[in-house]
């Protein structure tokens, strides 16, 4: 059969079965489109979750003092300056960033009626702030129990966008970091329901100083020693900041712990972030850390693994649906051609 006659025969068969072929072709196009869309969607969601939950943690992990497990207490070790130096000397460790929680109580009281007019004018300059939001700020009455933690400033240096994250010395406003997760909860639920402006890195420079009372509590009235009234300034939003509290420079936490809780509280760390030179060395370094008498806090990693598994399963399910649609369309086209051949 000549080529011209063959193409003519194919064109004739396609024209006679154009309706079935068109429907089957639509099925194939939709199926392939759905497959590409859901695979891309799953990959995009996974990347977003990875960047929010574990940004840059492929070569970092948390070290904490060993605690009781299954009713027994293992031979743990105190996490102090000597232990931090031992961690730094482990082969493959690039840096160690200590963390130290407040060993005293603290409070913060917010009263919008006490805001100065200069502060209100500064808030009005924030992009997106309306007069109704200003009135909502004026009506704020909040009394908060504050938890705090000190962190090595090197770990969050790139997150300090509205000021220097370092110990300013006694008598000056304390620079603090707040958690990205906490800001997201505030922006998504708390602020819209109360007509308050949302918080972002761009508006931190417009925020006023917040009052902070150290060695004080609204719940407990037996705090020993004098109170210290000071102010705090939010200078950044960080993934490494404490979730339900404020994060201050490490030397600030050390100085305040020494002042309100004694020398022992100023010498012991509650955790440390260990950074290894390469992700390939992670397992070996973690095992060496365990051998030294410390535990590894894998809470965030486990949460990310669960979220990643869930996203993978959902993506797989939608991908299978798309493949089924493509297969059905292919069977329909094959059936159409089979009928054409049978008629011949």
How is residue 35 written in tokens?
Answer: 């497959």
Same domain, 86 and 215: yes
Same domain, 70 and 178: yes
Same domain, 149 and 161: yes
Same domain, 34 and 159: no
pLDDT at 320: 78
**pTM for the predicted model, two decimal places:** 0.71
Same domain, 261 and 331: no
Which residues of the chain register pLDDT less than 70?
1-28, 42-43, 45-58, 68-75, 222-223, 299-309, 311, 329, 332-344
pLDDT at 72: 45
113 φ, ψ (degrees, to nearest 5): -70, -20
CB distance 294 to 61 below 8 Å = no
198-213 pLDDT per residue, tens: 888 888 888 888 999 9
Domain of 312 in residue numbering reads as 3-54+301-343
Q: Dmax over Cα atoms in the chain, in whole Å?
A: 104
20-43 pLDDT per residue, tens: 666 666 666 777 777 777 777 766
Same domain, 170 and 233: yes
Same domain, 47 and 95: no
Same domain, 47 and 97: no
Same domain, 66 and 50: no
Domain boundary among 297, 317, 335: 297
pLDDT at 234: 94
How many separate domains does the chain show?
2
Distances (CA, A) of 180 to 112, 159, 185, 198, 264: 24, 11, 9, 13, 31
pLDDT at 149: 96
Same domain, 248 and 333: no
Same domain, 286 and 305: no
Same domain, 8 and 42: yes
């Amino acid at each position: 059969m000549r080529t011209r006659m063959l193409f003519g025969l194919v064109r004739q068969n396609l024209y006679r079965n154009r309706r079935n072929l068109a429907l089957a072709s639509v099925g194939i196009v939709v199926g392939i489109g759905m497959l590409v869309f859901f695979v891309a969607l799953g990959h995009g969601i996974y990347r977003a979750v990875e960047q929010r939950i574990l940004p840059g943690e492929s070569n970092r992990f948390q070290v904490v003092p060993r605690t009781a497990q299954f009713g027994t207490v293992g031979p743990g070790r105190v996490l102090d300056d000597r232990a931090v130096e031992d961690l730094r000397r482990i082969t493959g460790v690039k840096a160690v960033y200590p963390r130290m929680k407040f060993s005293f109580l603290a409070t913060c009281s917010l009263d919008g009626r006490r805001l100065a007019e200069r502060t209100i004018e500064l808030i009005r300059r924030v992009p997106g702030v309306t007069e109704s939001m200003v009135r909502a700020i004026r009506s704020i009455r909040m009394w908060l129990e504050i938890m705090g933690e000190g962190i090595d400033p090197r770990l969050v240096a790139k997150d300090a966008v509205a000021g220097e994250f370092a110990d300013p010395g006694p008598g000056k406003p304390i620079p603090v970091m707040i958690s990205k997760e906490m800001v997201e909860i505030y922006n998504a639920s708390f602020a819209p329901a109360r007509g308050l402006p949302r918080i972002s890195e761009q508006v931190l420079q417009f925020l006023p100083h917040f009052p902070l009372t150290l060695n004080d509590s609204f719940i407990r009235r037996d705090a020993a020693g004098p109170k210290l009234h000071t102010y705090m300034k939010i200078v950044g939003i960080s993934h490494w900041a404490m979730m339900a509290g404020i994060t201050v420079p490490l030397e600030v936490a050390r100085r305040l712990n020494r002042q309100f809780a004694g020398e022992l509280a100023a010498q012991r760390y509650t955790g440390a972030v260990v950074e290894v030179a390469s992700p390939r060395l992670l397992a070996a370094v973690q095992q060496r850390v365990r051998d030294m008498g410390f535990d590894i806090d894998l809470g965030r990693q486990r949460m990310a693994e669960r979220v990643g598994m869930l996203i993978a399963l959902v993506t797989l399910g939608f991908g299978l649906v798309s493949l089924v649609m493509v297969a059905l369309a292919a069977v329909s086209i094959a059936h159409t051609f089979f009928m054409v051949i049978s008629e011949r």
